[in-house]
Amino acid sequence: MTATVTETVTEQPVSTRRTTEGRRATIVGFVLLGLTAVVLWVFALGAASDATATFNLSLPNDRFQGLTWAFNARALSLVVAVVLAALGAQRLRRSQLGWTNTVLGIGLLLFVVSFLGWAAAGSSFSLVGMLRSTVISAVVITLGALTGLMCERAGVVNIGIEGQLLTSAFVATVLSSAFGTVAGVTGAMLAGALLGAVLAWLAIKFQVDQIIAGVVINIFALGLTSFLASRVLSEAQDLNAPARVPSFRLPLLADIPVLGPMFFDHTFFVYGMLLLAFGLHFAFFRTRWGLRARAVGEHPKAADTLGIDVYRVRYRNVILGGLIAGFGGAFLALAQIARFEEDMTGGIGFIGLAALIFGRWMPLGCLAAGLVFGFSGALAQKVAILGTGIPSEFMLMLPYVATVIVVAGVVGHARAPAADGQPYIKG
């Protein structure tokens, strides 16, 4: 009898899963057909029939020089259009479902390639350069997302990431100017952790609304750093002159064509981001520590009854998250422009939160989302240079449109930890 009960009850979710899968497939099918139309009318017809686009695949200091990929822009777009149409039609026929997200991803990638071919028709363009700046733009976004992940997986919403980044950028600038890079990075991480501790203290001990606590941290950080920048740094200019952190070529790996310059010729911040994303993914889903943290974020009372100290796990995760934010802040100040500017974060902490949702609260998802967001940033720059007439603000907007779509559930459901943002009261 037990067996029958189990069977009949699980039957229902499976069938609904099928229908939502079908609905998503339909939507994705229409999206792909829409992209096909754009590729045909704009990219294929818009390019001169004999225009050749050239993508450069190597950078000046690469081992293998002169790698290029030249092609006829119109022909490429026509090929892409055929593939997109085929993929879209396949989705709409609903014959073979599953893999919907992968199909959508491939479709979007082809669309972007076709777009670049159209934009670069008749000239040449450094594809590797753009991919490299994609990775650089992804660092703060990914680290911000991982900060949010650490907190939210344990059930604390952190919207103070922006403030943590800004404060730690300031601390990194001053300490690095005075005592060197190591002091700067260490200090920045401690500053991030300190603000994390404040957030955790407000959220756990006093059960302050976590959104409000986060906003308070942001306002406090902006006010404090602006004040100090205008009063202190403008007087003592030498405190606003940190040494720029140099790149470090990883031997052998950096010599791989395309992937080498993209990932393995960077500052240690980039390597740190990659290690953190993979390491946290392993930690959250394979280790005791991760299981407990997730349990606290999903059902704190259950964790409590099993002898897990919910408050301790939350404090620890939020503070560790602060360390990650501090690392991101140090990157902003020391690796990019090597000085502190008022409000230099400009909302990137919130973009990190968007990446957290886009990455579905998974560490590797955060990295992927960071790269997608970073790509659109890099694309916007390049498009501005190529002069296609498309406003670069429009390109910058795209990832957020994508986030809204993800959150609305079209690309599959993104589910936050069940106890996210809820204070836990013992007993």
Q: By the criterion CB under 8 A, which residues form the site for other proteins?
A: 1-6, 8-10, 12-13, 16, 19-20, 286-289, 291-292, 294-295, 298-299, 301-309, 415, 418, 426-427
Q: Which residue has the tokens 């502190």?
A: 340
Distance CA 131, CA 6 (A): 50
Q: How far is the CB of 282 from other proteins (least distance, A)?
A: 8
Q: How far is the CB of 147 from other proteins (least distance, A)?
A: 22
Closer residue to other proteins, CB minimum distance, 4 or 95: 4
Nearest to 47 by CA among 107, 116, 118, 110: 118
Pairing of strands 248-249, 265-266: antiparallel
Closer residue to other proteins, CB minimum distance, 205 or 415: 415
Beta bridge partners of 72: 52
Q: How far is the CB of 93 from other proteins (least distance, A)?
A: 23
Closer residue to other proteins, CB minimum distance, 153 or 382: 153
Q: How far is the CB of 7 from other proteins (least distance, A)?
A: 10
Q: Could you say which DSSP state residue 250 is in?
A: P
Helix (H) or strand (E) holding 125, with range, is: strand 124-126
Closer residue to other proteins, CB minimum distance, 1 or 408: 1
Nearest to 313 by CA among 412, 419, 400, 227: 419
Q: How far is the CB of 2 from other proteins (least distance, A)?
A: 5
Contact call for residues 229 and 171 (beta carbons, < 8 A) = no
Closer residue to other proteins, CB minimum distance, 262 or 295: 295
CA 254 to chain centre: 23
Beta bridge partners of 56: 68, 126
Q: How far is the CB of 311 from other proteins (least distance, A)?
A: 11
Distance CA 188, CA 165 (A): 9
Tokens of 129: 């350069």
Q: How far is the CB of 395 from other proteins (least distance, A)?
A: 35
Tokens of 207: 């059960």
Q: How far is the CB of 304 from other proteins (least distance, A)?
A: 7
Helix (H) or strand (E) holding 53, with range, is: strand 52-56
Closer residue to other proteins, CB minimum distance, 119 or 204: 204
Q: How far is the CB of 13 from other proteins (least distance, A)?
A: 6
Closer residue to other proteins, CB minimum distance, 72 or 422: 422
Q: How far is the CB of 279 from other proteins (least distance, A)?
A: 10
Q: How far is the CB of 104 from other proteins (least distance, A)?
A: 21
HSE-up of residue 264 (Cα within 13 Å, Cβ side): 13
248 to each of 131, 172, 269, 328, 402, how far by Cα in Å? 18, 20, 10, 18, 34
Closer residue to other proteins, CB minimum distance, 178 or 308: 308
Closer residue to other proteins, CB minimum distance, 85 or 364: 364
Closer residue to other proteins, CB minimum distance, 231 or 312: 312
Distance CA 182, CA 192 (A): 16
Q: Which residue has the tokens 């756990």?
A: 204
Evaluate the CA torsion angle 25, 31, 35, 41 in order and state its sign.
positive
Closer residue to other proteins, CB minimum distance, 61 or 287: 287
152 to each of 138, 361, 362, 376, 378, how far by Cα in Å? 20, 8, 11, 26, 29
Classified as helix, coil or strand, 417 is coil
